Amino acid sequence: MQDGYTTPDGRQIGPVLLDLKNITLRFGGVEAIKNISFDIREGEIRAIIGPNGAGKSSMLNVISGFYVPQEGEIWFKGHRRGPMKPYEVARLGLARTFQNIALFDGMSVLDNIMTGRMNMMKASLFSQALWWGKAEREETANREQVEKIIDFLEIQNIRKTPVGRLPYGLKKRVELARALAAEPRILLLDEPMAGMNVEEKEDMCRFILDVNDEFGTTIALIEHDMGVVMDLSDRVVVMDYGRKIGDGTPDEVRNNPEVISAYLGVAHE
Ligand SMILES: Nc1ncnc2c1ncn2[C@@H]1O[C@H](COP(=O)(O)OP(=O)(O)OP(=O)(O)O)[C@@H](O)[C@H]1O
Ligand SMILES: [Mg+2]
């Protein structure tokens, strides 16, 4: 178990990649996260669920470096991670999407996806300005990778379209494409299927599973649709009022009485 295990459907789950220990996050008097610990294993699809305001997005923001918790430790691949800026976390191989779509509406799909590669462009400004050597090779590699993702997510036909003109479901897919452009080891998705119709949800589920399967990407996602969570995830963390009230396989959390009374038993949006 320590080094990994095989799931009932034959997928390989590796050792712990990200370990969150006793995380507490406060906004003034509000404790958004109260002493929460859980881990994310290499290759797994890990869901975070819970009612509105439970602290789920705050938790993703802690993982991605947008918020620095007042207490607790974050360990990445067996090393303790100090306070980091989001771009530093991105360089460790984390990419994310946002609960509210954060794309550039006036820019094309292709250009939006290219912005996902920004943090990977390591050539100096000097060589970029002269368009020499390394910068040129990087630009070519960037284009190739972006084209690969466009094919993978089946959005060739909208590559030149300004994002502002796209329907909601496709915008979400472009946001996923931009995150994938960074070639992340860990992908954080904040409600990737919120507001989608059934068909769009099915597509998004398939893409998430394919990303995990083909690229071996570890995925942590927040999702309200329990059917989706049960279908997709290997393990589920359940939050309520900033606390962790459940953690286990979909079946384990589904049968956890505290989870049922706090979340599963009630209607929510
Ligand atoms: N930047 C912030 N400043 C102040 N309070 C915040 C901030 N971000 C979140 N909170 C508060 O922290 C708590 C948890 O919010 P969070 O957005 O993490 O919940 P959530 O589980 O993602 O909810 P939802 O399902 O509605 O997206 C809420 O009480 C919220 O008002
Ligand atoms: Mg949220």
Each residue's pLDDT tens digit, 244-257:
999 999 999 999 99
Q: With a cut of 50, say whether residue 40 has pLDDT above it.
A: yes
Spell out which residues line ligand 1, taking CB within 6 angstroms. 27, 30, 32, 50, 52-58, 99
Average pLDDT in the chain: 90
Q: Which residues surround ligand 2, an ion (CB under 5 A)?
A: 57, 99
Q: With a cut of 80, say whether residue 147 has pLDDT above it.
A: yes
Can you tell me the mean pLDDT for 133-148?
A: 80
Each residue's pLDDT tens digit, 74-94:
999 999 998 888 888 888 899
Q: Whose CA is nearest to atom 4 of ligand 1?
A: 27
Can you tell me the mean pLDDT for 25-52?
A: 97
Q: For residues 29 and 108, what is the distance between their CA atoms, to the nearest angstrom?
A: 42
Ligand 1 atom nearest the C-alpha of 28 is 4
Residue 91 pLDDT: 87
Each residue's pLDDT tens digit, 161-214:
999 999 999 999 999 999 999 999 999 999 999 889 999 999 999 999 999 999
Q: For residues 68 and 85, what is the distance between their CA atoms, to the nearest angstrom?
A: 9
Of the bound ligands, which one is closest to the alpha carbon of residue 30?
Answer: 1
SS3 string, the chain, reads: CCCCEECCCCCEECCEEEEEEEEEEEECCEEEEEEEEEEEECCCEEEEECCCCCCHHHHHHHHCCCCCCCEEEEEECCEEECCCCHHHHHHCCEEEECCCCCCCCCCEHHHHHHHCCHHHCCCCHHHHHHCCHHHHHHHHHHHHHHHHHHHHCCCHHHCCCEHHHCCHHHHHHHHHHHHHHCCCCEEEEECCCCCCCHHHHHHHHHHHHHHHHHHCCEEEEECCCHHHHHHHCCEEEEEECCEEEEEECHHHHHCCHHHHHHHHCCCCC
Query: Which of 16-19's residues contact partners 24+ apart within 8 Å by CB, and which partners?
Result: 16/40, 16/41, 16/42, 16/75, 17/41, 17/42, 17/76, 17/77, 17/185, 17/186, 17/218, 18/63, 18/74, 18/75, 18/76, 18/186, 18/218, 19/73, 19/74, 19/75, 19/76
Residue of 23, 30, 48 to mutate, ligand 1, most atoms within 8 A of C-beta: 30
203 neighbors 212 (Cβ within 8 angstroms): no
Domains of the chain plus CATH, in order, are 1-93+184-269 (3.40.50.300), 105-183 (no CATH)
Q: With a cut of 90, say whether residue 118 has pLDDT above it.
A: no
Residue 269 pLDDT: 47
Give the model's confidence band at 20: pLDDT under 50 very low, under 70 low, under 90 confident, else very high. Answer: very high
Q: Whose CA is nearest to atom 14 of ligand 1?
A: 55
pTM of the predicted model, to two decimals? 0.91
Q: Whose CA is nearest to atom 17 of ligand 1?
A: 57
Can you tell me the mean pLDDT for 52-64?
A: 96
Choice between 234 and 143, residue whose per-residue pLDDT is larger: 234
Residue 239 pLDDT: 97
